[in-house]
Structure 1
Amino acid sequence: MIVVERMFAVTAAPGAVLAYLRDFANAQEWDPSALATHRLGAGPIAPGAHWRHVRKLFGVTAELTYTLIAAEPGRLVFHGRSEGATCVDTVTLGPAADGTAVTYRTEIEMHGLAKLATPVMRAEIEKLASGSVAAVTAALEGTAVHRRFGAATPNRLTTTPLEETG
Structure 2
Amino acid sequence: MISMQRTVTTTAPAVAVFDYLADFTNAEQWDPNAVKVIRLSDDVGTPNGDVVYRVTSRFAGRETDLDYRLVDLEPHMLIRLRGEKPAVTAVDTIRIEPRPDGTAVTYAVEFDFHGVFGLLAPLLRPAVRRLLEQGAVGLSEELARLG
TM-score (norm 1): 0.79
Pairwise mapping of residues 58-97 of structure 1 onto structure 2 (< 5 A)?
Answer: 58-73=60-75, 74-97=77-100
| Other-structure match for 1:19 | 19
Q: What is the aligned-residue identity percentage?
A: 33
Q: Alignment length, in residue pairs?
A: 143
Bigger strand share = 2
Checking the alignment, whether the CA contact within 8 Å between 1:47 and 1:69 is kept in structure 2 is: no
Q: Residue 68 of structure 1: SS of its match in structure 2?
A: strand
**Letter paired with 1:26:** N
Q: Distance between the aligned counterparts of 1:9 and 1:72, measured in 2?
A: 19
- CA shift at 1:38, angstroms? 0.8
Q: Find out whether 1:51 has 2:53 as its counterpart.
A: yes
Q: Per-residue deviation at 1:15?
A: 0.8
> Is the alpha carbon distance of 1:2 and 1:37 closer, same or farther for their aligned partners in structure 2, counting shifts above 3 Å?
same
| 1:62-94 per-position Cα deviation (integer Å, ceiling 9, x unaligned) | 110011111113111111123311111111111
Is 2:129 aligned against 1:136?
no
1-structure distance, mates of 2:49, 2:120: 31
Asked if structure 2 preserves the Cα contact closer than 8 Å seen for 1:9 and 1:96, the reply is no
Aligned 8 A contact 1:62 1:82 in 2 = no
Structure 2 unmatched ranges of 5 or more? none
Contact map agreement 2:59 2:131 (CA 8 A) in 1: no
Q: Counterpart in 1 of 2:103?
A: 100
Mapping of 1:106-125 within 5 angstroms? Answer: 106-125=109-128
* 4+ residue segments displaced more than 6 Å: none
Aligned AA (1:21): L
Rounded Cα–Cα distance in structure 2 between residues aligned with 1:53 and 1:16: 23
